[in-house]
Structure 1
């Protein structure tokens, strides 16, 4: 078969540079997967941008650092995966890809490098999934509301003088995304309660995944109406009381809660008897901050919890209280500094609690050291 007749190509490293140098001959290619191809260079991408019939293109894991303007000529493209590359951005011509359904962007080892969507992004009406948008323009925040097919978005607000206007417009746009299933929303720098603008937001009712990464004084009450929500993640918040649990505890589909970085500023965080959590099976407290010092479970709380992860880091005052009340517990994973005495104490207490149970109800205790 002649190369120009090939319609699908997955590149393997074993094929080396000879095939890469002939990319210009694949004129009928519809699918090109170059994931982790170490030999791919910027000079090869210009040939890829001449494959006008491409519908799927993955350059994930490669070392390309420049995307040419000609990428906008790939008018049939449905998926463009640029995760884990060396790109700092994309040309504005990307907005010409009006059939594109999935755009993934990310730089190796630098989570803060995101795609600055250009004005005219509203032209990309077919978008269903877009990751790592950095938003600093009110007009672009408004245009995002026109992408009514969006099901998944990761969007962070940039540091600039218009941030308050951008926040308010983004809230309006999010309220128009009726198809949204996954929302990862944050701020590049959290300076106070910057995300409290979400409190009055009309919710995207079909959400299954929700992550907030920024200053929140309380959880928006509308989160408690997300009957399809399966996973909730929180980081860089400023909670002080049980309002967090009050909102989440009755969600019928919630299976996983993840806490990252700073999320609570009180000394004790108590899961009370009224916080049943009918579907919650997994909770991960990955925060490396001091607070809360005490994580307590009261009798009758989190009745379905099976897996619990708690990070002690280096904080010697950390404690887990009331594990005996978690009747369905199957595994507890502790993480932190090997020489932290609080971690050692928790390990002994958990092993003692597990051994006191009848064999069918015992749980496993594991430790992961930093």
Structure 2
């Protein structure tokens, strides 16, 4: 559970308890997401100035040393002095600096020897203050900027031109408790990739590599093989330099693994253009696949259709080279969600009864389509939601929806509506 709505009486009770625990000179409405001691989060109006006053007061208050959870997501105005004060909360277990203009972490961050979660997503931190970084209790290191692949016409292949995340620090192997490492840039040092293979508690791994450096991808997969007994989620992004129109960047051929990560449940691949790994057919636990900038053909769709319990398939920008996406009988037995965005696909066809029989939701985003874009949805007995985002005449689509036994929820957003939503 990431968040909850608190009943006013419960909030008042906690606020009263806070007032007896804290210095009376501090405001009770410590505002946006200030968490204390037990990890209870108080929701309130965003008042960054109150939080900054609080952080200024830390050095003079022994009581603040008991703090274990501090979530500063979205707080503006944080300065280096505030971060240094945070480093004095020696019992801190959870620290979130997410969604702020923080550009660097202080060297003294290593004083937080009990820290288990460090969340620096959507920040401007690109490197740690020290090349070697060690927090012995750290379990979750969350970094990177979440976003869709670029669809800029000046960047025809759609790749980001540089990694927008933090560099993986040296000596990561010493943090043996790491369970989540996502998303970090592991391009600069071969030893960084070797370190990843030593993290035998790792459940979730997100790595960004530089497409100009040959051999990194093969080395990464070699050390992923060492995590075959623990890894559940894997995300790999290859960042390539800009290429001319119609040119597909090349990546290393994917290695054959003797011991692939068979426990893998979620796989996200961006920028690997050398095809699917041959061991993907052995991933019996795989439930979710997300692809972008992979330039795959129809043969890959047939491979996905055979995955035993695949429930969610996301085909994003330049993931598929065909114009028609076909779902055949006896394929995608457990697929529930299909999301298509930024591909050249102009038609999706469910050939007959038995093609994706459990599909409940289709979300398809495109620029414009002339002909009826979807066919065979009458063969989808579980369909509940159909969303089409793009320009086109949807009258025929609505008639087909109305004739469906489930009468699934149908939503259409034109390009103009999508642009307006994006500016809200």
TM norm. shorter chain > 0.5: yes
Once the two structures are superposed, residues 195-245 of structure 1 have per-residue CA deviations (whole angstroms, 9 ceiling, x without a partner) of: 54155574211111111112334333322222222211111112222x223
Q: Note the C-alpha offset of 1:32.
A: 1.9
**More divergent stretch after superposition (89-98 vs 262-271):** 89-98
Q: C-alpha displacement at 1:107, in angstroms?
A: 5.0
3-state SS of 1:332 partner: strand
2:104–2:129 CA contact under 8 A, matched in 1: no
Corresponding residue for residue 173 of structure 1? 223
Counterpart of 2:210? 158
Assess, with a 3 A threshold, how the Cα gap between structure 1 residues 320 and 107 changes in structure 2: closer, same or farther: closer
Cα distance, 1:39 vs structure 2: 4.1
Q: Distance in 1 between matches of 2:350 and 2:322?
A: 16
2:284 pairs with 1:227 = yes
* Residues in 2 aligned to 1:23 and 1:8: alpha-carbon distance in whole angstroms: 18
Show the counterpart of 1:301: 355
- The alignment partner of 1:206 has SS state of coil
Q: Secondary structure at the match of 2:144?
A: strand
Question: Do structure 1's residue 132 and structure 2's residue 183 form an aligned pair?
Answer: yes
Q: Unaligned stretches of 5+ in structure 1?
A: none
Name the TM-score, length of structure 1 as normaliser: 0.87
Q: Label 1:317 to 1:221 Cα distance change in 2 as closer, same or farther (>3 A).
A: farther
Counterparts in 2 of 1:28 and 1:331: CA distance versus 1, 3 Å: closer
- SS of the residue 1:244 aligns to: helix
Aligned positions of 1:34-113 closer than 5 A: 34-92=72-130, 95-107=133-145, 112-113=163-164
1:310 deviation in Å? 1.2
Q: Distance in 2 between matches of 1:232 and 1:117?
A: 25
Counterparts of 2:310 and 2:285 in 1: how far apart (Å)?
8
Give, in whole Å, the separation in 1 of the partners of 2:144 and 2:274. 30
Deviation at 1:3, TM superposition (A): 5.2
Q: Tell whether 2:307 aligns with 1:251.
A: yes
Segments of structure 2 that go 5 or more residues without pairing to the other structure are: 1-19, 24-35, 149-159, 242-247, 419-424
State the secondary structure of the residue aligned to 2:382: coil
Q: How does 1:1-370 map to 2 (within 5 A)?
A: 7=37, 13-14=46-47, 15-24=50-59, 25=61, 26-92=64-130, 95-107=133-145, 112-136=163-187, 137-160=189-212, 163-177=213-227, 178-189=229-240, 192-194=249-251, 196-198=253-255, 200=257, 202-241=259-298, 243-275=299-331, 277-286=332-341, 288-289=342-343, 291-299=344-352, 300-314=354-368, 316=370, 319-336=373-390, 340=391, 343-344=392-393, 347-358=394-405, 361-369=406-414, 370=418
Per-residue CA deviations over 1:145-176 (Å, capped at 9, x if unaligned) read: 0011110011011244xx22222211111011
Q: Which residue of 1 aligns with 2:33?
A: none
Equivalent-residue separation in structure 2 for 1:40 and 1:252 (angstroms) = 48
Which stretch shows the higher mean deviation, 84-93 or 192-201?
Answer: 192-201
**Would the aligned equivalents of 1:95 and 1:124 in 2 still touch at CA under 8 Å?**
no
